[in-house]
Amino acid sequence: MSSVIESEEHQALRAAVAALGKRHGRDYAPEALWSEAAKLGYLGVNLPEAYGGGGGGIYELSIVLEELAAAGCPLLMMVVSPAICATVIARFGTDDQKAAWLPALADGTRTMAFGITEPDAGSNSHRITTTARRDGADWLLTGRKVFISGVDKADATLIVGRTEDARTGSLKPCLFIVPRDTPGFAYRPIDMEIRASEWQFELAFDDMRLPADALVGDENAGLLQLFAGLNPERIMTAAFALGMARYALGRAVEYARERTVWRQPIGAHQAIAHPLAQSHIEVELARLMMQKAAHLYDSGDDAAAGEAANMAKYAAGEACVKAVDQSVHTLGGNGLTREFGLASLITASRVSRIAPVSREMILNYVSHQTLGLPKSY
């Protein structure tokens, strides 16, 4: 039975990753940090030992991302490459796919992006139209994707498409590994207002030819594969958000202890102190839900993990947006300077409210799945 109090091993992992994050800091070079974290075994901590991973779970991986983000140097691709893509391949890939990808994803030498969002589907992933059809032994994939992170640097993108079910004629989800240099795989950066080293891309492909083994695992297991990736994605987004919130609050508290414009430092004014205290509490509460979700997921209870992971992502995203807002405000004019580096977090923090699933879609999920309320859409 897992405890809500972290084990000594987990505390030690936190401390070690925090020390790594501190060495890199806010002005980090993502590639250098990625390769150092990889060498220390942090990026593959959730992957099976048989493939060079650490044999841990999403709990450990979420510690790594949260602590790096709390040090001001989050690695967004951790949400995608080891958490979503490697999980899906480890659980559902063929032996060849596992051998080809897992050791390299575990030691960080290769990365994989994840593409599900489409321009005309957005939050409604039932509406995606990227379609694969058979051509001899090959597949021909046609579709468009939008907001896909890190495609330019990732060795491949795991694309969610659909194939026709021979029995029913209806379309069912299927996942394909698409190497970046596949002929016909076109990607174009989107001009985002986010200061981050990972860019978002629009993808387009028209009858792009893929070999038979590009399909992940079994053609009939696409839906299960997708669900296997969603919980880690939400838990890791929560970790990203909580780390960012802690980073911003840390800067604001430091500032509020020192900055004096009357007789006392501004942190003595309750109008400044209380919102920071409130944010700290909200971050701690959201982390408890994230830990619950990670424990459930790692224990193999996908269904219970689903609800907890959604709630954790919601709580962490909201805590992050509020913490960053209050932190920027605490610094007065300095909150908007480049020197103090908090203003850019205003846009960055909003990502955790909208992606990978928006606040409203989580509220819909809880309304329908948890509370049993009727659907409006």
Sites of contact with ligand FAD (CB under 6 A): 80, 114-117, 122-123, 147-149, 194, 200, 351, 354-358, 360-361, 364, 377
Give the nearest distance from C-beta 196 to ligand FAD in angstroms.
Answer: 8
Closest to ligand FAD by CB, 149 or 291: 149
Query: What DSSP string describes 29-60?
Result: -HHHHHHHHHHTT-TTTTS-GGGTS-S--HHH
In 10 A of CB 29, how many CB atoms?
A: 11
Nearest one of 79, 10, 69 to 250, comparing CA atoms: 69
Q: Running DSSP on this structure, what letter comes out for residue 158?
A: E
Name, in order, each residue with C-beta under 8 angstroms of 22's C-beta and a sequence gap of 6 or more. Answer: 71
Using CA of residue 80, residue 84, residue 87, residue 93, what is the dihedral sign?
negative
CB nearer ligand FAD, residue 116 or residue 178: 116
Q: Between 132 and 276, whose beta carbon lies closer to ligand FAD?
A: 132
Burial of 227 (0-12, 13-18, 19+ CB in 10 A): middle
Min. distance of Cβ 356 from ligand FAD in angstroms? 4
Q: How far is the CB of 338 from ligand FAD (least distance, A)?
A: 21
Q: Which is nearer to ligand FAD, 225 or 330 (CB)?
A: 225
Smallest distance, ligand FAD to C-beta of residue 81, A = 10
Output the smallest distance, CB 250 to ligand FAD, in A. 23
How is residue 31 written in tokens?
């590639």
For ligand FAD, give the closer residue by CB, 225 or 291.
225
Directed axis angle between helix 30-39 and helix 8-24, to 10°? 150
Q: How near is the Cβ of 157 to ligand FAD at its closest, in Å? A: 9
Cα four-point dihedral sign 343, 345, 350, 355: positive
Tokens of 167: 């029995």
Q: Which residues, at least 6 apart from 113, have a Cβ–Cβ distance to it below 8 Å? A: 77, 80, 81, 85, 148, 149, 150, 151, 154, 156, 157, 158
**By three-state DSSP, how is residue 176 classified?**
strand
Choose between 66 and 118: whose C-beta lies nearer to ligand FAD.
118
CB of 197 to ligand FAD, least distance (A): 12
Instruction: Using the minimum distance from each CB to ligand FAD, give the nearer residue, 149 or 163.
Output: 149
CB atoms near residue 23 (< 10 Å): 12
In contact, 163 and 210? CB cutoff 8 Å: no
214 or 357: whose CB is closer to ligand FAD? 357
State in angstroms the smallest separation of the CB of 287 from ligand FAD.
22
Residue nearest to ligand FAD (CB): 122
Q: Whole-number minimum distance, CB 159 to ligand FAD, in Å? A: 9
Two structure tokens written together for 171: 């379309």
Q: Which is nearer to ligand FAD, 141 or 357 (CB)?
A: 357
Query: Residue 200 Cβ, how far from ligand FAD at the closest point, in Å?
Result: 5
Cβ-proximal residues to 130 (8 Å cutoff; 6+ apart), any chain: 118, 141, 142, 143, 144, 145, 159, 160, 161, 162
In one-letter notation, the amino acid at residue 148 is I
> Which CB, 80 or 342, lies closer to ligand FAD?
80
